[in-house]
Structure 1
Amino acid sequence: MAASVRFAEIALPLPVDQVFSYSIPENLLDTALPGRRVSVAFTNRRMTGVITALSDTCPVPRYRPLSDVLDSDAVLDASLLELTRWIGRYYLCPWGEAIKAALPAGMLSESEQIVSRDEPCPPECMDRLRRAAPRQAELLAQVPEQGAVTLSILRRRTRIRQPFAALRGLEAKGLVTISIGDTSTGPGIRYETWVELVPPMEEADRIVTRLIPRAPRQASCINLLARHGGRLTTEQLRHLGRIERDVVRRMEKKGLVSLREVETVRDPYRDAELPEPVKVDPTAEQAEALRTIHGAIGQGAFKSLLLYGVTGSGKTHVYVKSIEKTLAAGRSAIVLVPELALTPQAVRQFRAHFGDLVTVLHSGLSPGERYDSWRRTRAGDYRIVVGARSAVFAPLSDLGLIVIDEEHEPSYKQFDDPPLYHARDVAVVRARTVNAVTVMGSATPSLETYTNTQTGKFECSRLTERVDRRPLPGVRIVDMREERRLGRFSIFSAPLADRIKDRLARQEQIILFLNRRGFSPFVQCYDCGLSVSCPHCSVTMTYHADSLFMRCHYCDHRDQAPEVCPKCRSQSIGYRGVGTQRVEEELKERFPDARIVRMDMDTTSRKGSHQDIFHRVLNREADILLGTQMVAKGFDFPNVTLVGVISADTSLNLPDFRASERTFQLLTQVAGRTGRGKLGGEVIVQTYSQGHHSVASAQAHDYESFYAREITDRKALGYPPFGRMVGILFQGERDEYVMREARRFAELMRKQPGGLNILGPAPPVIARVRNQYRWQIIARSCHSGRLRDAVRQSRLQWERAADSRRVHLKVDVDPVGLV
């Protein structure tokens, strides 16, 4: 090996916990630097990875050269590269997958594998294939005859996670051809073409008169340009006058117009109306909190602080003043919000104060919008980034402040694809790396965070009163058992129905909360008791009245609601339980003149829908906002004077050690959406669990008593924050394989040192999702490092066995739920 050869260690977005060494060609030595993306050949495909380090040696005797360097600057600076490395180690995921999570979608794409076939498959051949190789038959059926399909589409259509072996079998039989497309480098910069009038404006009329007889489209274009200051984009010309690009090109040749390509920024909030910022003096409690925060910012010191304030106490004002201090110190800030639904309100608030220094980063943006925001943030054009979970990776230089609003929310935890990180904890680690301040705001802090303030790990500033000393809303608990005893079986108790009628008459607004979407959670036969279940998941189908279909909320399987029972053929089919659609229908029947807006997963799937609903309620174009947990978080609507909780028992009855905490937080937070203006507010909570301590504490707005009761139970059982947990989920197509591999993993775990407590394996509450059987292990220990080491070692041993390939494993460090 020549001494002059240099190597790059490259992290690839693969489920393999290692980096890969590639030699650096001589012509790329000056550009192949850590943090930059590169294109490399990997097995039979071309992939995009990120250089993590350079080396003079290679750990393997045979190596390939990297193909190209894709960036002139690092996409991840040294601190973000180290942060992703920490995420990989702590959350037990490959470094490449952590890096992928930190970059906009598409920036680490692999080349698309394309599957095609030229000849149809005879029916007898397809029949043999279905019997001998059903996976191959399923895949082949999705490849169009004399056509092609990408591998990602095949995966989505068939839900086969690892189709390579089956596709190679089809290729060996001559039934398909597999080829490799070009590597995608992600979304690019968007440009607009501006058309500018060349002759002086005063000559426009003369030119139009000359052009009308022989070139009326050109005359129309000159006219439009003259009326709009002499310049328009090609898109504007097409929209205003149906002037196409070929007309503009001919005019350019005549010297009538000039064309200029201008970079444009894709910003979905660009045209949002902003309120005038109101200057208010901080309260004594706000001023005390700001002294602590400003002191740390001024010193350039790392600090983590819990801003523990009741709903409506002005936590946002503290955030704004803290950001002002951060900018004055020459540093930048991130503001995390727990839900995409809250982004329009947050952008409106912070842009009102800081204007064009604010941008947005979250997964709800289009790839182009997210790329523009990320790219211009990295260039220094923005100094404040607002967004949901993934905004914690914003490429800001000189980061000085990270705000985590509603820090207790479980939505800060990644649930689906690795890394399964918690944005709050990642924010604290990132702040420590760059000596920044972390401010975590909540009226109902997570037990872990509040315990950290008791042990001195975090500081705590309290806001015990609402702004202008407004009272907290009164909370009335309605015992639905008593309603039934009185013969009232409506969704709405008598007190809630009366209050809704009263608020509508007074032209005040109402929020109704039910954490269950759809019309009816299950469809049941009254004669034999059969509940219609999803054929792919171990859950009942939810009936949706708007489409007249049943839907599975886990795999999205859809089917028509049965007219007769599939089992006993009875026609006594009933729709049981209550979802947001059913509440909406009854509201329309009882209050036909009310303007109702529903906010749940079914109404917010369209891009921009969160923003539309927010503005309708804010502008008083809706009387009732009905929704799931989206409506319980952070909204500030001054005209809302009534909050109704349709059922407080939905989250309380979950088999999860955090169920009481979730219920208390949801009830307290949704109660806080009312009484934020001068009109006061009231809350009605309907429940069958009136005596439960989480309901009673929420009624009294008493976090301290709830914490004292709940923390005692947690300590006795060794649950967080007194113990650490790792959830290990096994999934596969055959239940016996999944069970066997889960048991084998559990035995490996029990052989590890450190006195671990291993629970399971056992099927979780939902034992099958998308035809994947599931088994779960919960590993517990009072020592986080030992626990993660034990899982890491057990996984390495487990993966050496061939049968482990039949089963997909997902590791969740510090799970926020066990359901």
Structure 2
Amino acid sequence: MDAGQYAEVVVNIETALADAYTYHIPADLRSELRVGHLVEVEFGRRLAQAIVVSFVDSSPVAETKPIISLIDPDPVLWPWQIELARWLSYRYLAPLNACFRLLLPPGLTRWSDTTYDVNPYWNGDGRLTELQRQLVELLRERGVLRGRQISRAVKDKKWAAAATQLVNRNILRRASVLDPPRARPKHIRTAELIAGPSLIRAAVPQLGRANKAADILQYLHDLADPLPAEAAVLAATGAEPGHLDLLAKEGLVTRIPAAAIVVPVPGQGLPVEQAAALVQLPHAPEVLPDPALLRAWLDRGLVRLEEQPAAVSLAIPARRVMGWVLRLRHAEAYGRILDYLTEEARAVPVGDLFAATGANLKHLRRLAELELVRLGDVHVWRDSLADRDFVPADPPELTLDQARVWGRVKMAMIEGEAADEDVEWEDEEAAASERAGVEGHAPDGDGLATHDPMDAATPFLLHGVTGSGKTEIYMRAIAFALEREQQAIVLVPEIALTPQTVRRFAARFPGRVAVLHSGLSDGERYDTWR
């Protein structure tokens, strides 16, 4: 469904902001924009990120700026997260944009920066101070630079004022940009075999370098006649006799020289003994009759000569032909790729393929052009626990004290569920506002529910020495929540305790534990958030 004419957005900048701002939606974005989308806007005189929190049909101000672009095709916040950020701001009197920033994926925030470059139309006239001259030379040497890059290159902290003077004199150009995100989804390229043996054989002549000897081998492999004439083979492949010599020397083909065969003419009365000798000629050349006698038989029409042209045949098994064809064409890498993908019979990461075959992307692209291989990519989750093995563990039997404590905690959780189900909104307007949030339009700040989720919660503080079983109570409570399709967050007091805590929880809840802490990379934290 198309959005309205205007969007209320929370601008994500360092400065604390208490309100949302109204921007009009360009026509080309109305069919795409959704509540929770991250967009690019102009805020004041700089670019900034903003989160769409609702749509409205009118603006409280006469003139509005347009939303510039959609940063991510998928919304980064759900409507309930938008409500949570509003509640945090309302409850703790915190800046609205700071509360929204807490819910964004780690590494996704992009701060505004300014770029500078030398105006190409400046003719070099005018006097410059030493600092201004230094700025101009730096930008001429390195091209467009961000403000942060200039700060690292220029020791004088007053460079910004000097740059502004140069901008006012049209010597430099200045533009507002957003920093690139520190984290984004990770994708890896994959390759998959999509052609069968017949298509692969047909494509082999287009791999590697042209080679007539290879053409001869493939021609003999595909030919139905096992003993074709040499002349026919050379004519079909455009090869020379020297190519046959090369193949014969390598033991790849067998050459059969031309010969004349003596054949008895039926019904001409050739003596039985002599006819029998002729039949044995192919197997016992020593029984050949006297040449004078043979000439006499030819003259009398008792026998005739049949000319047998020189012939050639494969001297290796058919299964080895393609390997030799690729070797002669210097295309062994293609063969290794095809063999590897045939054996895997699935899409494989190209990094693994390159490591196993020694091939490179050029080879893969050529196979893709010939429609033998399909290149794709898959999203990879950066899981900090992926390389660790955890032995599943069953919950231990509780002691009497542990059972008593767990009984109280469990009862409080059940009562909390019942209390949540009985919560009613203060008035019909608030209920309609919440429904709008669920359907994709965040309610206004005045439409917040008067019910505070914390009011229904019963906090517990467990007392006990190390090893007394407190963690087991936590894990029982988590298991109880997970059974009801809820979630749980465990806070560890210091990062040094993370390994042993993760080990216990991952063993109890295999495949369901995600970890967030400062020791992870931006990419790992980003994927965990997602």
TM-score of the pair, normalised by structure 2: 0.57
Change (3 A) 1:80 1:285: farther
Change (3 A) 1:265 1:8: same
1:44 aligns with 2:40: no
Match of 2:514 among 359, 370, 378: 359
1:12–1:19 contact (8 Å) kept in structure 2: no
Deviations 1:552-605, CA, capped at 9 Å, x for gaps:
xxxxxxxxxxxxxxxxxxxxxxxxxxxxxxxxxxxxxxxxxxxxxxxxxxxxxx
Q: Determine helix, strand or coil for the equivalent of 1:361.
A: coil
What is the distance in 2 between the residues matched to 1:304 and 1:162? 54
Q: Determine helix, strand or coil for the equivalent of 1:22.
A: strand
1:178 aligns with 2:178: no
**Aligned counterpart, 2:492:** 337
What is the distance in 2 between the residues matched to 1:319 and 1:162? 55
Match of 2:473 among 303, 310, 318: 318
2:7–2:52 contact (8 Å) kept in structure 1: no
Q: Determine helix, strand or coil for the equivalent of 1:275.
A: coil
What is the distance in 2 between the residues matched to 1:230 and 1:31? 35
In the alignment of these two chains, the number of paired residues is 363
1:11 aligns with 2:17: no
How much does 1:349 deviate?
2.8
1:245 aligns with 2:361: yes
Deviations 1:742-784, CA, capped at 9 Å, x for gaps:
xxxxxxxxxxxxxxxxxxxxxxxxxxxxxxxxxxxxxxxxxxx
How much does 1:165 deviate?
5.2
2:107–2:523 contact (8 Å) kept in structure 1: no
Amino acid at match of 1:96: N
2:112–2:176 contact (8 Å) kept in structure 1: yes
Match of 2:461 among 301, 306, 309: 306
Deviations 1:57-77, CA, capped at 9 Å, x for gaps:
433332212234445654233
What is the distance in 2 between the residues matched to 1:283 and 1:80? 40
Per residue, is there more strand in 1 or in 2? 1
How much does 1:233 deviate?
1.5
Amino acid at match of 2:12: L
Deviations 1:284-321, CA, capped at 9 Å, x for gaps:
33323322332233342522222333223333322222
Q: Determine helix, strand or coil for the equivalent of 2:409.
A: helix
What is the distance in 2 between the residues matched to 1:154 and 1:310? 56
Q: Determine helix, strand or coil for the equivalent of 1:307.
A: coil
1:13–1:100 contact (8 Å) kept in structure 2: no
Amino acid at match of 1:147: G
Change (3 A) 1:295 1:81: same
**Aligned counterpart, 2:231:** none
- Residue correspondence of structure 1 range 463-502 to structure 2 within 5 A: none
Q: Determine helix, strand or coil for the equivalent of 2:100.
A: helix
1:47–1:108 contact (8 Å) kept in structure 2: no
2:108–2:184 contact (8 Å) kept in structure 1: no
How much does 1:15 deviate?
0.6
Change (3 A) 1:190 1:322: same
**Aligned counterpart, 1:269:** 385
Q: Determine helix, strand or coil for the equivalent of 1:236.
A: helix
Deviations 1:632-661, CA, capped at 9 Å, x for gaps:
xxxxxxxxxxxxxxxxxxxxxxxxxxxxxx
How much does 1:374 deviate?
2.2
1:150 aligns with 2:265: no
What is the distance in 2 between the residues matched to 1:115 and 1:26? 32
What is the distance in 2 between the residues matched to 1:99 and 1:159? 36
Q: CA RMSD in A?
A: 4.1
Q: Determine helix, strand or coil for the equivalent of 2:490.
A: strand
**Aligned counterpart, 2:447:** none
Change (3 A) 1:56 1:258: closer
Match of 2:187 among 191, 195, 198: 191
2:107–2:526 contact (8 Å) kept in structure 1: no
- Residue correspondence of structure 1 range 439-588 to structure 2 within 5 A: none
Q: Determine helix, strand or coil for the equivalent of 1:308.
A: coil
Per residue, is there more helix in 1 or in 2? 2
Change (3 A) 1:297 1:92: closer
**Aligned counterpart, 1:694:** none
1:213 aligns with 2:328: yes
**Aligned counterpart, 1:23:** 24
Percent of aligned positions with the same letter in both sequences? 29
What is the distance in 1 between the residues matched to 2:138 and 2:95? 32
Deviations 1:687-712, CA, capped at 9 Å, x for gaps:
xxxxxxxxxxxxxxxxxxxxxxxxxx
Q: Determine helix, strand or coil for the equivalent of 1:114.
A: strand
What is the distance in 1 between the residues matched to 2:34 and 2:341? 48
How much does 1:78 deviate?
3.7
Q: Determine helix, strand or coil for the equivalent of 2:65.
A: coil
2:11–2:49 contact (8 Å) kept in structure 1: no
What is the distance in 1 between the residues matched to 2:327 and 2:377? 28
Change (3 A) 1:30 1:234: closer
What is the distance in 2 between the residues matched to 1:157 and 1:288? 66
Deviations 1:171-229, CA, capped at 9 Å, x for gaps:
2355643224467577443322333345679x997554543332111223244445656
Q: Determine helix, strand or coil for the equivalent of 2:145.
A: strand
1:112–1:180 contact (8 Å) kept in structure 2: yes
What is the distance in 1 between the residues matched to 2:173 and 2:466? 61
What is the distance in 1 between the residues matched to 2:135 and 2:470? 54
What is the distance in 2 between the residues matched to 1:253 and 1:259? 10
- Residue correspondence of structure 1 range 408-807 to structure 2 within 5 A: none
1:374 aligns with 2:489: no
**Aligned counterpart, 1:64:** 65
What is the distance in 1 between the residues matched to 2:106 and 2:150? 20
How much does 1:49 deviate?
0.3
* Structure 2: runs of 5+ lacking an equivalent: 202-318, 420-456
Change (3 A) 1:167 1:52: farther
What is the distance in 1 between the residues matched to 2:348 and 2:5? 54
2:10–2:96 contact (8 Å) kept in structure 1: no
**Aligned counterpart, 1:290:** 406
How much does 1:80 deviate?
2.7
Amino acid at match of 2:76: V
How much does 1:9 deviate?
4.1
1:252–1:258 contact (8 Å) kept in structure 2: yes
How much does 1:272 deviate?
1.3
Amino acid at match of 1:51: V
What is the distance in 2 between the residues matched to 1:209 and 1:296? 76
Amino acid at match of 1:221: I
Amino acid at match of 1:283: T
1:116–1:146 contact (8 Å) kept in structure 2: no
* Structure 1: runs of 5+ lacking an equivalent: 130-135, 376-819
Amino acid at match of 2:104: L
Amino acid at match of 2:388: A
User: Which has more radius of gyration?
Assistant: 2
Change (3 A) 1:68 1:228: closer
**Aligned counterpart, 2:100:** 99
2:392–2:510 contact (8 Å) kept in structure 1: no
Amino acid at match of 1:20: Y
**Aligned counterpart, 1:83:** 84
Change (3 A) 1:96 1:297: same
How much does 1:11 deviate?
3.1
1:266–1:372 contact (8 Å) kept in structure 2: yes
Deviations 1:369-427, CA, capped at 9 Å, x for gaps:
3332222xxxxxxxxxxxxxxxxxxxxxxxxxxxxxxxxxxxxxxxxxxxxxxxxxxxx
Change (3 A) 1:47 1:319: same
How much does 1:278 deviate?
5.0
How much does 1:109 deviate?
1.8
Change (3 A) 1:230 1:164: same
Q: Determine helix, strand or coil for the equivalent of 1:290.
A: helix
Deviations 1:788-818, CA, capped at 9 Å, x for gaps:
xxxxxxxxxxxxxxxxxxxxxxxxxxxxxxx
